Amino acid sequence: MTGAEIVVKILEQQGVKRIFGIPGAQSLELFDAFRGAGIETVLVTHELCASFMADATSRAGDGVGVAVVVPGPGLTNIFSGLGEAYLDSIPMVVIIAGVNNEIPYSFQLHEIDQVKAASPLAKAVFRLEKVEEIWAQLYRAFSLAQAGEPGPVVVEIPNNLLARATSFSLPPINGKEKISTSPIEPLISRAIQAITDAKRVGIYAGLGAFPAGREVRELAELLDAPVATTLSGRGVIPEDHPLSVGYGFGGSGTRISRKTFSECDLILAVGCKFTEVGTGGYGLKIPGKLIHIDANPGNLNVNFKAEIAIASDSKAALDRILAGAKEIIKSPRKSGLREEIQKAKADEEQKLEKRDIHKDWVDPAHLLRHLRQLLPRDAIITTDSGHHMFFVLTYFPIYEPRTYLTPTDYQSMGYSVPAAIGARLACPGRRVVATIGDGGFLMTGIEMLTASRLKLDLPVIVFNDGALGLIKKLQKRALLRTQAVDLVEPDFESYARAIGAGYVRIENDEEIAGNLEKALAMKGPVLIDAWVQYPELTDYIKGQILENIKRYPAGQKFRSLVRLFRRAVLPWIE
């Protein structure tokens, strides 16, 4: 058995159905071993996109995504994907077919210190020295990628080891190793007491709460507790559930989340780490006590001090808390909160219905509202980093777990299209739609070639405003002028034809319903060119801006005001 064949056997035992990458001189043996195995090799157009596809495979729930790249440029090309998975806590395994570790020469093709290069962007990086190490270290990589707080793990296997035959016998593996953190019982007891004593509990759920979605919902219904999520935690509870108040609860949260959480005297935070993006600029105001549950002890008591900090995976902790709470609270509490939340949601829906209908451009709010109506509840939507992302956050409710795939804490542009391809492959029976700004599309939209080659039904909605829209709007507001934000774009219709995709243009609000239906009915990849304008900054963005301004030192605030005065007033005086 060669080293490459050992790699393939491990991937098969781990349930890996496909890998993403581009073969190179150092990975010939590995890709040849894939050929005879039951693992699909997805040739990507750009290696960056291999990491985004692997990331989305994991987010959509189809095991651990795997990317295979060559050393040097292959590794550096996927750095943004590594960073995204690392900061967003997404399990991924990246296999690098490294340079020969036996020849007595330096400066080989693609040779860099890959362990040192990748370490800041990965949970762990392994460089193998012997063919006999492949099984143990690669198995360890999959375990570590999923253990505690998940993340990407990089394994470098020199190409000479991949080609070498060995008498090594592959040990059997009975299922996948599961590593979890069990809660400390005295802390659980304290948490149960605090939760049942509280007048109103607010539940704040992040990505790490997905395994405990049932427990989150049951606990909320028992306590009559509002549930808000982080951005990446959307779908932990359906957003049409009578106790769901949407995302966040600080200045960047929804209006109903801000109100209901301000009336809480205890916050139960589950599977989140209070990041800048997740909190809207660290703008959460913790009313009363905070109980924080997270699998990574290093995430506890970092940005917000907890009264009770529990290092545990979410399901293990909430199982115990729910059982203990049920022993004390015999019947679900009722406070009229559900009716209050439902009324607030109805008011927001009425406001949306009353928005102006534009004949010269597309309002993203109307576009997303119609899209939600046309898609099944379990449809997967991907977003990119940009202005459209916050409109999706505001106007596209999420009903099922792992159906909202978005770059959160690393915020890499270009994520959406390759992520949608990864999700479409991972969930072949589900509808997947990509949303992306024109700036992000110009970075990785060429990956629709991969969707064309694979004959994937994949609508890609380009929010086309001819600029890096959010940055342009922020420049205008903060600086009263713009710089380097207007895009030079191709003819998107010709572009779609060139890459083998269908094309539908939406020029105004009146065309939304009919043209969206037309596009969603088309086979293969479809580029939907929506000529949007963004009529407002969403509550999330406004809240984050205000929180950032609050943190400015007085001198910086004064200098900013002086600059604005010079740009806005002095030209009129002169």
Domains and CATH numbers, the chain: 3-163 (3.40.50.970), 185-340 (3.40.50.1220), 355-531 (3.40.50.970), 539-573 (no CATH)
Considering 100-109, 320-329, 534-543, the range whose residues carry the highest mean pLDDT is 320-329
In what side-by-side order are the strands of the sheet with 201-205? 244-247, 227-229, 201-205, 266-270, 289-294, 308-311
What is the number of helices (H) and of strands (E) in the chain?
24, 18
For residue 340, the tally of other CB atoms under 10 A from its CB is 17
DSSP notation for 259-283: HHHHT-SEEEEES----TTTTTTT-
pLDDT confidence band for 290 (50 / 70 / 90): very high
Using the predicted structure, report yes or no on whether residue 79 has a pLDDT greater than 80.
yes
Contacts of residue 515, Cβ cutoff 8 Å, sequence gap at least 6: 504, 505, 506, 528
Q: How far is CA 99 from CA 32, 33, 35, 125, 161, in A?
A: 18, 18, 22, 16, 10
Residue labelled with tokens 């063919």: 131
- Residue 572 exposed, middle or buried by CB count within 10 Å (0-12, 13-18, 19+): exposed
Distance CA 539, CA 473 (A): 15
- Residue 358 exposed, middle or buried by CB count within 10 Å (0-12, 13-18, 19+): middle
Contacts of residue 570, Cβ cutoff 8 Å, sequence gap at least 6: none
- How large is the C-alpha radius of gyration of the chain? 25
**Strand bridging mode 289-294 / 266-270:** parallel
Give pLDDT tens digits for 203-243: 999 999 999 999 999 999 999 999 999 999 999 999 999 99
User: Which pLDDT belongs to residue 475?
Assistant: 85
User: Which pLDDT belongs to residue 564?
Assistant: 62
Using the predicted structure, report yes or no on whether residue 175 has a pLDDT greater than 50.
no
Using the predicted structure, report yes or no on whether residue 310 has a pLDDT greater than 50.
yes
User: Which pLDDT belongs to residue 60?
Assistant: 95
Of 109 and 254, the structure prediction assigns the larger pLDDT to 254
Query: If we measure between CA atoms, which residue out of 540, 515, 545 comes closest to residue 529?
Result: 515
Residue labelled with tokens 């581009």: 22
User: Which pLDDT belongs to residue 565?
Assistant: 64
User: Which pLDDT belongs to residue 164?
Assistant: 87
User: Which pLDDT belongs to residue 532?
Assistant: 96
Q: Which residues of 114-138 are buried (b: 16+ CB within 10 A; e: fewer)?
A: beebbeebbbbbbbbeebbbbbebb
Give the mean pLDDT of the chain: 91
pLDDT confidence band for 282 (50 / 70 / 90): confident
User: Which pLDDT belongs to residue 494?
Assistant: 96
Distance CA 459, CA 450 (A): 14
Query: Contact at 8 Å (CB) between 92 and 51?
Result: yes
Stretch 377-385: mean pLDDT: 97
Q: Note the pTM of the prediction, 2 decimals.
A: 0.92
459: phi then psi, degrees, rounded to nearest 5? -75, 130
Give pLDDT tens digits for 196-205: 999 999 999 9
Contacts of residue 458, Cβ cutoff 8 Å, sequence gap at least 6: 420, 421, 424, 432, 433, 434, 448, 451, 524, 525, 526
Give pLDDT tens digits for 453-492: 999 999 999 999 988 888 888 888 878 888 898 888 899 9
Distance CA 277, CA 69 (A): 30
Using the predicted structure, report yes or no on whether residue 150 has a pLDDT greater than 60.
yes
For residue 476, the tally of other CB atoms under 10 A from its CB is 12
Query: Contact at 8 Å (CB) between 432 and 382?
Result: yes
pLDDT confidence band for 566 (50 / 70 / 90): low
Of 282 and 260, the structure prediction assigns the larger pLDDT to 260
Contacts of residue 308, Cβ cutoff 8 Å, sequence gap at least 6: 187, 190, 191, 194, 289, 290, 291, 292
| CA atoms lying within 13 Å on the CB side of residue 47 | 20
Give pLDDT tens digits for 337-355: 999 999 999 999 999 989 9
Average the pLDDT over each of 397-406, 485-494, 565-574 and give the range with the smallest value. Answer: 565-574
Average the pLDDT over each of 129-138, 514-523, 538-547 and give the range with the smallest value. Answer: 538-547
The distance from CA 246 to its chain's CA centroid, rounded to whole angstroms, is 17
Stretch 13-42: mean pLDDT: 92
- Residue 80 exposed, middle or buried by CB count within 10 Å (0-12, 13-18, 19+): buried
Name beta bridge partners: 68.
21, 95
Stretch 413-439: mean pLDDT: 96
- Residue 215 exposed, middle or buried by CB count within 10 Å (0-12, 13-18, 19+): buried
pLDDT confidence band for 569 (50 / 70 / 90): low
Distance CA 565, CA 527 (A): 44
Specify the DSSP class assigned to residue 112: -
Q: Checking phi first, is residue 163 left (phi over 0); if not, alpha (psi -120 to 50) or beta?
A: alpha
Query: If we measure between CA atoms, which residue out of 381, 413, 358, 367 comes closest to residue 530?
Result: 367
Helix (H, G, I), strand (E, B) or coil at 62: coil
pLDDT confidence band for 67 (50 / 70 / 90): very high
Query: Contact at 8 Å (CB) between 223 and 333?
Result: yes
In what side-by-side order are the strands of the sheet with 40-43? 40-43, 18-21, 65-69, 92-98, 152-158, 124-127
Stretch 290-310: mean pLDDT: 94
